[in-house]
Amino acid sequence: MSHHELDARRLLCPMPVIKTQNQVNALQQGDTLTVICTDPGALNDIPAWCRINGHAVLETREEGHEVRVTLEIGEPSIAL
């Protein structure tokens, strides 16, 4: 299991979520990912996407003008 960071600064909705989804697809179950954004909406959007897709949000925080969301990759979903 490994930790990764995704720089989604200066991207507006829905791009932070799309970039997160693309990165998660390249990771393994149990890996962690910290997404760094400047779009304050990502503080709600990424955790909502995680709930829908079975990933755990480990931490959300704001640091100045940046939002950081750390998530743990859940089980891969089975496409129907």
Give residue 79's pLDDT.
Answer: 53
φ/ψ of 48, rounded to 5, equals: -65, -45
- The answer to whether the CB of 69 falls within 8 A of the CB of 24 is no
Q: 71 pLDDT band (50/70/90 cuts)?
A: very high
Task: Tell whether 27 is covered by a domain.
Answer: yes
Task: Tell whether 61 is covered by a domain.
Answer: yes
Tell me how crowded residue 13 is: count the other CB atoms within 10 A of its CB. Answer: 14
The number of angstroms, rounded, from the C-alpha of 35 to the middle of its chain's C-alpha atoms is: 5
Total domains in the chain come to 1
- The answer to whether the CB of 57 falls within 8 A of the CB of 70 is yes
Task: Tell whether 77 is covered by a domain.
Answer: no
Task: Tell whether 79 is covered by a domain.
Answer: no
Q: Is 37 a catalytic residue?
A: no
Domain that holds residue 46: 3-70
Q: Which of 15, 62, 65, 20 is nearest to 43 (CA)?
A: 62
Q: What percent of the chain has pLDDT over 90?
A: 91
Give residue 59's pLDDT.
Answer: 98
At 24-42, the pLDDT tens digits run: 999 999 999 999 999 999 9
At 37-62, the pLDDT tens digits run: 999 999 999 999 999 999 999 999 99
Task: Tell whether 22 is covered by a domain.
Answer: yes
Among the listed residues 11, 13, 36, 43, the single catalytic one is 13
Q: For the domain that residue 47 is a member of, what is the CATH number?
A: 3.30.110.40
Task: Tell whether 20 is covered by a domain.
Answer: yes
Q: 77 pLDDT band (50/70/90 cuts)?
A: low
Task: Tell whether 76 is covered by a domain.
Answer: no
